[in-house]
Amino acid sequence: MAAWTNISDIKQKIADSSAEEVTAAYIETIGKSKINGFTTVWEEAINVAREIDSNGHEGPLAGIPIAIKENISTKGLSTTCSSKILQGYVPPYDAHVIERLKEAGAVILGKTNMDEFAMGTSTESSCYGPTFNPWDLERVPGGSSGGSAAVVAAGEAPISLGSDTGGSVRCPAAFCGVVGLKPTYGCISRYGLISYANSLEQIGPLATNVADIATIMDVVAGYDSRDSTSINRENTYSDALKDDVKGMKIGVPDEYFGEGIDKDVEKSVWDAIGKFEDMGATYEKVSMPHTKYALASYYIIAMSEASSNLARFDGTRYGLRADGENWHVMASKTRAEGFGTEVKRRILLGTYALSAGYHDKYYLKALKVRTLVKQDFDKALANVDVLMAPTMPAPAFKIGEKIEDPLSLYLSDVNTVPMNLAGVPSISVPCGFAGDMPVGLQIIGKQFDENTIIKAAYSFEQNTDHHSRRPPEVA
């Protein structure tokens, strides 16, 4: 495990030695990994670090190593979405977030494992095999950004980027005991993010602490004309790093503490809310009555969009191409051989939901429910500053425990998908343990009010030590 796990310590180490030495230390740590978190280590990383040293460490992230999820395009570096159908694909361009990271002087360490095309809650459906949770190698790291969370928890990278379609940054952050932020929809350009469900997904950072999350947001957030959903709105996220929640009003939705919640998870979250009271905040119960419909609505919308977005992968332009006597046979065989079981399941269900005769019955109804869920958030957040709830209803489960039961896996997302439907920001911070496994507290805010949830998370972190505990396997 590298000795430095946050940006501040790494900057000091670079000043004392070099970016090259820091990058080499992380690559050495990755080489000893037991968690299968990286799919590719970028062979140019050392040369980039050496060049940063020779240029005098210019840029706010000069020499800082960062890991990137497999579905974010990186010029000259393999980008496969952990799917056989994209094996061998090397993008000719960088995603917007990668351009910004490079301009800031960051060193791209490599790509991290994920559920195939970001469809999953456990990082077990990758063509590279599962990633293992550093806290317990028999358990999942969460998904779909499981690799991005696990490598940060294991000290193989100080920070990483993931993508969050229905909780895919916050779920692995909670399971691996790190901090993960899903920003407001439109806050970060999705140019270069390979789409699964484009009206729901958002790139988000993971790190060991809230300050690093704010620092990365200062670099990667902002307007991009190449993404029609990008919002032109200036913000400095690091301005929110203040230890002050006096007078803050917290809403606690009953619906997020429903049937099936683990008692240790529930206790950790209520203890955290109690800590906020000690720091000067107050809380009140709020009702979000359409939460019970959010999961079904989410999966209909996500699968419908997936069936459309993944139509482009037919063997003609990218990655795998099977033999066939004509285009129809070639495309059919390519998709049959290239896509995994979960991807095929979601494409079929999404195509069915969009088909003639069923569009109004399923897809249109799901969109109407989405509006009701959004209205729940508007009403609840009209009277409070933030909402608080468990990120996940239970701690990380065993590898293989739910992979044959997709419905059970979908139910795991019950506390995270409503925020993607509503487009509101949400951050998961470590708040305790269930047995030996980390528990995440989810702090939810109004649209484009990331600074309030960052301030709440930062204050909690300054007054507790949950975030400072590291997995025994790599300590």
Of 243, 463, 286, the residue nearest 386 (C-alpha): 286
Q: HSE of 127 in the Cβ direction (CA atoms, 13 Å)?
A: 18
Spot the catalytic one: 168, 189, 195, 304.
168
Q: Using CB atoms within 10 Å of the CB of residue 224, give its burial: 0 to 12 exposed, 13 to 18 middle, 19+ buried.
A: buried
Catalytic residue (choose from 18, 144, 160, 230): 144
In the DSSP assignment, the letter for residue 86 is G
| CA atoms of 163 and 196, how far apart (whole Å) | 10
CA distance 372 to 313: 34
125 a catalytic residue: no
Count CA within 13 A, CB hemisphere, residue 213. Answer: 34
**Known catalytic residue: 168?**
yes
At 111, which helix (H) or strand (E)? strand 107-112
State the CB neighbour count (10 A cutoff) for residue 274: 11
Burial of 455 (0-12, 13-18, 19+ CB in 10 A): buried
Q: Of the listed 13, 18, 33, 69, which one is catalytic?
A: 69
What separation, in Å, do the N-terminal and C-terminal C-alpha atoms of the chain show? 7
Sign of CA dihedral 414, 416, 417, 423: positive
Could you tell me how far CA 48 lies from the centroid of its own chain? 26
CB atoms within 10 A of CB 352: 15
d(CA 267, CA 405): 28
Tokens 């993008």 belong to 91
Count Cα neighbours of 168 within 13 Å in the Cβ-side half-sphere.
28
Q: How many CB atoms lie within 10 A of CB 317?
A: 9
Nearest to 181 by CA among 155, 153, 149, 157: 149
| DSSP label at residue 73 | -
Residue 413, C-beta contacts closer than 8 angstroms, at least 6 positions apart: 121, 166, 167, 171, 295, 298
Q: At CA 360, angle to CA 356 and CA 366, rounded to 5?
A: 125
State the DSSP code for 381.
Answer: T
The helix/strand/coil state of 401 is: coil
Catalytic residues: 69, 144, 168
